[in-house]
Amino acid sequence: MPLVNPVNMLQAARAGGYCIGAFNLVDYLTLKAIIEAAEQQQSPVILQTSSATVKQLGLPAIGAMARLVADASLVPIALHLDHGTDPAVIREAIRCGYTAVMYDGSKYPFAENVARTRAVVAEAHAQGVAVEGEIGIVAGVEDDIVVRQDAAIYTSPEEALEFQRQTEIDFLAAAIGTAHGFYKVEPKLDIDTLRRIAQATTCPMVVHGGTGLPFDVVRELVRAGAAKMNVSTQIKQTYIDGLFGYIEGHRTEYNPIKLLDHARRELVAMIGQYMQVLGSTGKSAGSANAA
Ligand code: 13P
């Protein structure tokens, strides 16, 4: 089916008490692995790209690849721009077929974040594209943005509600103590705040920094109201470890197809496991609305 706007799948997840995985692709192999896992699990899925991947592959190529794969698939697939900061890039992503975009104005004071996010929402909604906003500051490393753990700012439920009301965003990333990248120290999660924000607002909640969270913590976050969970670093690690592992055992084989196939299978297994833990397995029917 064509790429879908993810609002319906996220609202269904919110209402049904499960969560949709948003997996960062880095190339065609990772894109194929994410879709293969979604098909095996009969799960809706969000493909997303960071700004480094956008620079590497270009928005037209990403849009074309995602459309090609989605058109041939029966599970609902959305294409989302992760951490957009430049309205011109967001506009271009929409032109290239993205069905959702994040505007990350979290570094600005509240009123400026609201004004900038509202402008993106007006443009995106006019074209049937969904918008994720963010308030609070998520720690860790995302491309070339580095935020120390002690510099993270947690989101308050009152602010979240006001932000949703003033911006009319479709889903909201709140800072509750998770971080991008590998955890160097155990994260101090404020799961109760996530629960209170999810109850105070009507929009699905997004948790960034899915990599490295123990699965029982992931399940707790989902129970507290996480409807979209971002997983990026784990994709890169499984990919690279898969390639290394195969090369170590087959140093003189020189068969790139077998090498890449091995890495892809490792990725499909890992992503499938996330979908099971998030509870999106078996939820592909009834959560699509074509973009
Ligand atoms: P991780 O790299 O920690 O999985 O975080 C991904 C993310 O939140 C992307 O926005």
pLDDT tens string for the chain (291 positions)? 999 999 999 999 999 999 999 999 999 999 999 999 999 999 999 999 999 999 999 999 999 999 999 999 999 999 999 999 999 999 999 999 999 999 999 999 999 999 999 999 999 999 999 999 999 877 676 666 666 666 567 788 999 999 999 999 999 998 888 889 998 888 889 999 999 999 999 999 999 999 999 999 999 999 999 999 999 999 999 999 999 999 999 999 999 999 999 999 999 999 999 999 999 999 999 666 544
Task: Tell me how far CA of residue 282 lies from CA of 19, 20, 99, 118, in angstroms.
Answer: 12, 12, 22, 35
For ligand 1, whether the C-beta of 8 sits within 6 Å is no
Task: Give the separation between CA 278 and CA 19, rounded to whole angstroms.
Answer: 5
Ligand 1 within 6 A of CB of 132: no
**What is the C-alpha separation between 211 and 182, in angstroms, rounded?**
7
Where residue 122 sits, what CATH number does that domain have? Answer: 3.20.20.70
Which residues are bridge partners to 45 per DSSP? 77
DSSP one-letter string for 218-252 = HHHHHHHTEEEEEE-HHHHHHHHHHHHHHHHH-TT
Q: Which of 85, 146, 211, 278 to mutate to test the pocket of ligand 1 (most atoms within 8 A of CB)?
A: 211
Amino acid at 8: N
Residues identified as active-site = 82
| Residue 231 domain flag | yes
Q: Is the CB of 221 under 6 A from ligand 1?
A: no
> How many structural domains comprise the chain?
1
Pairing of strands 139-142, 145-147: antiparallel
Whether 239 is in a domain gets the answer yes
Ligand 1 proximity of 209 Cβ (cutoff 6 Å): yes
19 φ, ψ to 5°?
-140, 145
> 164 with 156: CB under 8 angstroms?
no
- State the DSSP code for 203: S
Is residue 26, in this structure, part of any structural domain at all?
A: yes
SS3 track for 36-90: HHHHHHCCCEEEEECHHHHHHHCHHHHHHHHHHHHHCCCCCEEEEEEEECCHHHH
CA–centroid distance, 256 to ligand 1, in Å, is 28
pLDDT value of residue 186 = 86
CA 32 to chain centre: 16
Helices (H), 140-190: 157-167
- Residue-level pLDDT at 284: 96
Q: Is residue 183 part of a domain?
A: yes
Any domain includes 235: yes
Q: Whole domain around residue 21: which residue ranges?
A: 7-290
- Asked whether 280 lines ligand 1 (CB < 6 A), one says no
Rounded CA gap, 50 and 189, in Å?
A: 24
Q: Is residue 129 part of a domain?
A: yes
pTM of the model: 0.95
Q: What is the 3-state secondary structure (H, E, C) of 106-131?
A: CCCCHHHHHHHHHHHHHHHHHCCCEE
The SS3 call for residue 198 is: helix
Is 2 inside a domain boundary? no
| Burial (0-12, 13-18, 19+ Cβ within 10 Å), 264 | middle
Long-range pairs of 196-200 with CB within 8 A, sequence gap ≥ 24:
196/157, 197/155, 197/157, 197/160, 197/161, 197/172, 197/225, 198/14, 198/224, 198/225, 198/226, 199/157, 199/225, 200/157, 200/158, 200/160, 200/161
Residue 265 lies in a domain: yes
What separation in Å is there between the alpha carbon of 251 and the centre of ligand 1?
32
3 state SS of 288: coil
Quote the ligand 1 centre to 154 CA distance (angstroms).
17
